[in-house]
Amino acid sequence: MSTRTDRLGGRGVTLDTGVARIIDAEEQHLAHNYHPLPVVVSHGEGAWVTDAEGKRYLDLLSAYSALNFGHRHPALIAAARDQLDRLTLTSRAFHSDRLGAFAGALARLCGKDLVLPMNTGAEAVETGIKVARAWGYRVKGIARDRAEVIVANGNFHGRTTTIVGFSDDPLAHDDFGPYAPGFVSVPFGDASAIEAAITPDTAAVLIEPIQGEAGVIIPPEGYLRAVREICTRSNVLMIADEIQSGLGRVGETFACDREGVVPDVYLLGKALGGGILPLSAVVADRDVLGVIRPGEHGSTFGGNPLAAAVGERVVEMLSSGEFQQRAAALGEHLAGRLGELIGHGVTAVRIAGLWAGIDIDPSAGTGRDVAERLLARGVLVKDTHGHTIRIAPPLVVRATELDWAVEQLGLVLEG
């Protein structure tokens, strides 16, 4: 065994010598843009992962919802393996026999006409911004280079230079300017603030229906309906960033479904790639997404046959409603169990389906402290914003596994 000092936390963490060597190799050769927990994952299946020493952990993070269907779901692995034996990449210079089927299936799931496939969630957001501006100029008639997009305080839409410019998180924002103009930020959850910010130059309102990185912040009931009504009345696009909240996570296909709202544009990613590879998409009707012309946007890997094959299977699995129903039922169960901890090391719980933000009483330590103590007990979670931990289990998790995880959290908070 070897004692390794965590470079940011300054703690002594006892690790197996082989594991310490693996972590040290990362420290030496990777840019330090992450602060991972001291565990080396080597295998995964369903809701569980195994580390390099053979210890098993219940994964309650799901790669920030990219693993909604769990690790190595057999149907998704089969789709990927079949496509690997046929074709992986053509670029969009040519057609492939998988892309049209995927796009049609995803469009039907969203109730829209067109799909623009990309790779990462940040690319989907950047694409959505480009579409909104083009629509503003070519359809709404906004004067050239004056289009504005309204965003919400506390947002997290990615880490590209455009996106961080309208973030109010210092870690994401500071020292990366100059920032792109054209964004107006208002308080999250306040529809009247959106209405007040709209001008003739407003092309779109870009919001997360539930703010994930901020700590699973759920807006007041009726907020999304009000935003939808305001956007329709003002001839402004409503763009919903469902990259974390969508595809079954909250007990509905989309978080907007919780209020019966259909945005003009869906931004999708993470779980769309089945936890196997990056796949994102912008989905909208023809009168919106049709403004993009050949040569104006693209990606060498966007819509590649391998991603399309996996994505089509993801859509097929969601179409039955099974995963949405599991998330709703298990989320209700989880809410009851987590509620028992309020006043016992937990100050507040926010939960939508199988997605929870848990505020830790400062007397019990920081969110990072709790995450490290849960790691020692075989449970993987991640902290955010100091005293909050996030829980986003794979939708294949069992109620008994959730019960065990909450018991571990209770024990950690007691200690």
Residue 123 has pLDDT above 50, yes or no: yes
Write down the pLDDT at residue 349. Answer: 98
Burial of 120 (C-beta count, 10 Å sphere; 0-12/13-18/19+): buried
Of 241, 291, 239, 242, which is closest to residue 135 (Cα–Cα)?
291
Residue 2 has pLDDT above 70, yes or no: no
- Tokens, residue 12: 């002594």
Partners of residue 184 on adjacent β-strands: 150
Q: What percent of the chain has pLDDT over 90?
A: 94
Between CA 275 and CA 301 the distance in angstroms is 17
Write down the pLDDT at residue 20. Answer: 87
Angle between helices 305-319 and 99-110 (to 10 degrees): 30
The mean per-residue pLDDT over the stretch 331-336 comes to: 98
Write down the pLDDT at residue 67. Answer: 98
Q: What is the DSSP letter of 272?
A: G
C-beta of residue 234 within 8 angstroms of C-beta of residue 200: no
Q: Could you tell me the pTM of the whole model?
A: 0.95
Instruction: State how beta strands 265-268 and 237-241 pair.
Output: parallel
Is residue 270 annotated as part of the catalytic site, yes or no? yes
- Tokens, residue 259: 């209020």
Write down the pLDDT at residue 14. Answer: 59
Of the two residues 10 and 204, the one the predictor is more confident about is 204
- Catalytic residue, from 102, 156, 166, 254: name it: 156
Got the DSSP string for 153-180?
TT-----SHHHHTT---HHHHTTS-SPP
Write down the pLDDT at residue 9. Answer: 39
Q: How confident is the model at residue 141 (pLDDT cuts 50, 70, 90)?
A: very high
CB neighbour list of residue 384: distance below 8 Å, 6 or more residues apart: 213, 214, 215, 357, 367, 390
> At 361, is the secondary structure helix, strand, or coil?
coil
Q: How far is the CA of 56 from the CAs of 70, 90, 379, in angstroms?
A: 15, 39, 9
**Residue 17 neighbours by CB distance under 10 Å:** 9
Write down the pLDDT at residue 164. Answer: 98
Residue 96 phi/psi, 5° resolution? -125, 160
Write down the pLDDT at residue 15. Answer: 66
Instruction: State how beta strands 346-351 and 280-284 pair.
Output: unpaired
Minimum mean pLDDT range among 25-29, 55-59, 284-288, 356-360? 25-29
Write down the pLDDT at residue 75. Answer: 98
Burial of 171 (C-beta count, 10 Å sphere; 0-12/13-18/19+): exposed
Instruction: State how beta strands 2-5 and 41-45 pair.
Output: unpaired
Q: What is the DSSP letter of 273?
A: G
Q: How confident is the model at residue 19 (pLDDT cuts 50, 70, 90)?
A: confident
Of 396, 402, 379, 394, which is closest to residue 64 (Cα–Cα)?
394
Minimum mean pLDDT range among 18-32, 247-261, 264-278? 18-32
Is residue 254 annotated as part of the catalytic site, yes or no? no
Q: How far apart are the first and last CA of the chain?
A: 25
- Catalytic residue, from 102, 188, 264, 270: name it: 270
Span 74-322 CATH architecture: 3-Layer(aba) Sandwich (3.40)
Write down the pLDDT at residue 193. Answer: 98
User: Which uninterrupted H or E stretch holds 398?
Assistant: none
Residue 13 has pLDDT above 70, yes or no: no
Residue-range domain boundaries for the chain: 74-322
- Catalytic residue, from 51, 59, 241, 359: name it: 241
Write down the pLDDT at residue 1. Answer: 41
Between CA 204 and CA 131 the distance in angstroms is 10
Residue 12 has pLDDT above 50, yes or no: no
The mean per-residue pLDDT over the stretch 300-318 comes to: 98
Of 257, 312, 252, which is closest to residue 279 (Cα–Cα)?
312
C-beta of residue 324 within 8 angstroms of C-beta of residue 253: yes
Residue 292 phi/psi, 5° resolution? -80, 130
53-101 pLDDT, tens per residue? Answer: 999 999 999 999 999 999 999 999 999 999 999 999 999 999 999 999 9
160-202 pLDDT, tens per residue? Answer: 999 999 999 999 999 999 999 999 999 999 999 999 999 999 9
Is residue 241 annotated as part of the catalytic site, yes or no? yes
Q: Determine if the peptide bond prior to 362 is cis (ω within 30°).
A: no
- Which residue shows structure tokens 């993070």? 61
Write down the pLDDT at residue 365. Answer: 96
CA 213 to chain centre: 8
